[in-house]
Amino acid sequence: MALYAAYASNLDPDQMAERAPHSPLRDTGWLKGWRLTFGGEEIGWDGALATVVEDSGAEVFVALYDVPELDEQALDAWEGHELGLYTKIRVRVQTLFGEELAWIYVLDAYEGGLPSARFLGIIADAAEKAGAPEPYVKELRARPCDTLGTEP
């Protein structure tokens, strides 16, 4: 069983239950020294895609899931890993109980571009459902986004 750290829409426990039904939530924590950003605007169907990059002064809220091989394969398909869209790397996650080693998906594209307002809202809602602190969720909701094509 592998430990997966979700940082974007997979923070939503309902979404994870659909995508990886045999993968229970273990804990939440922080990727210290990383920041949430977006990239690959030219390959995304709804604006730039979520990813994380190293940044010594930042941190990203994550949900940790115990993922068996069958669910890992399903997540790989959802995240475009098999297509080369995302690469899997191992990171250290800080939890209340200490440090955990987990894998994450990192976008294989240059940083830059704006996520759609819809996608950013999905990420903020997912973070809220996962128990992210209010200031973190508020910061997500205040991020710049592409509002073209959205209703006022």
Neighbours of 5 (CB within 10 A): 29
Given this structure, which CATH class describes domain 2-137? alpha beta
58 compared with 152, residue with greater pLDDT: 58
pTM of the shown model: 0.93
The predicted-structure confidence for 63-112, as pLDDT tens digits, reads as follows: 999 999 999 999 999 998 888 889 999 999 999 999 999 999 999 999 99
φ, ψ dihedrals at 90, nearest 5°: -100, 140
Q: How far apart are CA 84 and CA 37, in angstroms?
A: 19
- Looking at the DSSP assignment, which residues form a beta bridge with residue 7? none
Contact criterion met (CB below 8 Å) for 9 and 126 = yes
Percent of the chain with pLDDT over 90: 82
